[in-house]
Amino acid sequence: MMLVLILCVALWLLGAVMGTPSGQRCAVIGAVWVLSLIGDFVLPQGHPLGGDARVWVVVSVVAAGVVLYAALLKRLKSQVMTEVPMDNKAAFQPAELARYARHIMLREIGGPGQKSLKSAKVLVVGAGGLGSPSLMYLAAAGVGVIGVIDDDEVDASNLQRQIIHTDQRIGEPKVKSAMEAMTALNPFVEVRPYQRRLTEESAEIIEEYDLILDGSDNFDTRYLVNRVAAKAGKPLISAAITQWEGQISLYDPAHGTPCYECIFPHRPAPGMVPTCAEAGVAAPLPGVVGAMMAMEAVKHICGAGQGLGGRLMIYDALYAEVRVIGIKRRDDCAVCGASP
């Protein structure tokens, strides 16, 4: 077998030197391979030119699989290049096609879906526990423009769960730390850091984005984000966690779903809902719920599957239970009701 492999390599290199087209070289090598395989079946065992035919069969199957995979990947790339002209703003570079190949293979995403992701602009409120995995997966998925707003700095107590930050970046602004991690993961995305607290004055940046993800840790910000997003007609994916439990939904009253305040019209009394700093939180929990936020964002942008509009998902990590309940708009909602 080794002699045949050496012969095939030599033929390929000789053809390359002589300028022979790759298709003809493949045909010659294929002929040599088939003759060698036939020889192993025909020649008696122990013959100097013979070998173990079973080894040849295994190698042939593996080689055929590699060739088919390469051909499939090439075909998918050509489809994307056809759907996205190279003079288009959202054109894919060859390195991006290889990066997003697993997405392009999915029927629900494909080339058009990946193009939608590249053209999308998503704002993430908070670069903490929920924001960390959301930001990383949005960047990995190829969302074209990702904004992140947070006024906090990286603290040692964050590193138990906020995986986007590192020990070396303690003391840095969280938005700067997040941008470093995201661009290191995917240099093809644009990250816009906003080192400030989201307030009535700064909330106008929401209007610049197509989709908002709220991973904030206080009710003032949650109600503010919901109010501004609803007014601007922007879909909002909002989640919250505490101890062992998390919840998530998509609020988009412009398209018939309730808004956050429809479901939670009144803020809880002080002390009724302790923060993570007060009550604690299991380290992987924000990773699970934050990844769900990114997943819902990808689905929403690509139009894949069924989203969480009009549904509230509750995840209980302690008992490994997931519940989904239906939620409806309220006519008397102060934000999106008939007479807000």
139 and 68 within one domain? no
Counting Cα atoms < 13 Å in the Cβ hemisphere of 28 gives 16
| Predicted pLDDT of residue 7 | 64
- The verdict on 41 and 131 lying in the same domain is no
**Rounded distance, CA 216 to CA 198, Å?**
10
- The pLDDT of residue 38 is 65
In this predicted structure, what is the pLDDT of residue 310?
96
pLDDT at 84 (0 to 100)? 43
Domain holding 195, by residue range, is 120-326
Find the range with the poorest average confidence among 60-74, 112-126, 134-148, 221-235.
Answer: 60-74
The whole-number pLDDT of residue 56 equals 58
Residues 65 and 160 in one domain: no
Read off the tokens for 191.
């990250």
Asked if 10 and 157 sit in the same domain, the reply is no
175 and 272 together in one domain: yes
Residue at 92 is within a domain: no
pLDDT digits (tens, 9 = 90+) for 296-308: 999 999 999 999 9
Structure-token pair, residue 254: 């412009």
Answer yes or no: is 109 within a domain.
no
In CATH, what number is assigned to the domain containing residue 191?
3.40.50.720
- Same-domain check for residues 131 and 46: no
Compute how many other C-beta atoms are within 10 angstroms of the C-beta atom of residue 123.
26
Domain contains 96: no
Residues 72-113: tens digit of each pLDDT: 766 666 655 444 444 445 578 999 999 999 999 999 999 999
Confirm whether 114 is domain-assigned: no
Last residue of a domain, one of 32, 56, 83: 83
Residue 150 lies in a domain: yes
Across 32-36, average pLDDT: 67
Top pLDDT among 279 and 158 is at 158
- The answer to which of 54-63, 141-150, 240-249, 271-280 has the lowest mean pLDDT is 54-63
Q: How far apart are CA 263 and CA 270, in angstroms?
A: 19
Q: Is residue 199 part of a domain?
A: yes
145-149 β-sheet, strand order: 190-194, 145-149, 121-125, 211-214, 236-242, 245-251, 311-316, 321-326
Q: Could you tell me if 296 and 154 lie in one domain?
A: yes
Is pLDDT at 37 greater than 70 in this prediction?
Answer: no
Helix, strand, coil percent values for the chain (each to nearest 5)? 50, 15, 35
One domain, residues 198 and 63: no
Instruction: Tell me which DSSP letter residue 84 carries.
Output: S
Rounded to an integer, what distance in angstroms lies between the CA atom of residue 297 and that of residue 310?
A: 15
- Map tokens 């993800």 to a residue: 213
152, 128 Cβ separation under 8 angstroms: yes
Domain termination site, one of 55, 83, 111: 83
Residue 143 and residue 39 share a domain: no
Among the three residues 34, 58, 83, which one is the final residue of a domain in this structure? 83
If you search the block for the tokens 């009394």, which residue do you land on?
269
Comparing 36 with 161, the larger pLDDT belongs to 161
What is the pLDDT, as a whole number, of residue 31?
73
What CA–CA distance (Å, rounded) separates 188 from 143?
A: 9
Instruction: Read off the pLDDT band of 265 (50, 70, 90).
Output: very high
Whether residue 186 is found in the same domain as residue 292: yes
Identify the sign of the CA torsion 258, 260, 264, 266.
negative
Q: Taking 60 as the threshold, does the pLDDT of residue 324 lie above it?
A: yes
pLDDT digits (tens, 9 = 90+) for 132-178: 999 999 999 999 999 999 999 999 999 999 999 999 999 999 999 99
Return the half-sphere exposure (C-beta side, CA atoms, 13 A cut-off) of residue 178.
37
Domain assignment present for residue 22? The answer is yes
Please state the rounded mean pLDDT for residues 228-252.
Answer: 96
Arithmetic mean of pLDDT, 202-231: 94
In terms of domains, do 209 and 292 share one? yes
Q: Is the residue at 340 inside a domain?
A: no
Residues 178 and 267 in one domain: yes
Total domains present in the chain: 2
